[in-house]
Amino acid sequence: MALDQEALKKELIEAFHLEGVPADKQEELLSKIGEALLKRIFLETMEKMGDENVKEYEELLDKEAKQEELEAFFESKIPGYNIFVRGVVTKFKEELAEGAM
């Protein structure tokens, strides 16, 4: 799930026309959008992996696996995981822009 957070932040600011919003309000909105986006990525990832792989993921969490290990795990279970995540981000932005959420 190696998303470039700064690039994503800029992308969200542009997508939702937040350039003119005061910095404190902008950060608050980005925080809420980011939280919702991370939840969406997590839920769609867990759904795509299936129950057996979710159990394996939970075992990795119990072992306090490093971020790199988790990323490798996701990539092994969902080939092209970064592309999958990018698709989730794109769909999320489209739905949010349409007011479908």
**pLDDT digits 0-9 by tens, 58-81:** 999 999 999 999 999 999 999 999
Mean pLDDT, residues 74-96 taken together:
93
Planar angle of CA 29, 94, 36, nearest 5 degrees: 40
Residues 6+ apart with CB under 8 A from 80: none
State how far the Cα of 89 lies from the Cα of 83, in Å rounded to an integer. Answer: 10
State how far the Cα of 8 lies from the Cα of 73, in Å rounded to an integer. Answer: 23
Confidence of residue 4 (pLDDT cuts 50, 70, 90): confident
Which pLDDT score is estimated for 2? 53
For the chain, percent of residues with pLDDT exceeding 90? 66
Q: Is the pLDDT of residue 100 over 60?
A: no
Confidence of residue 101 (pLDDT cuts 50, 70, 90): very low
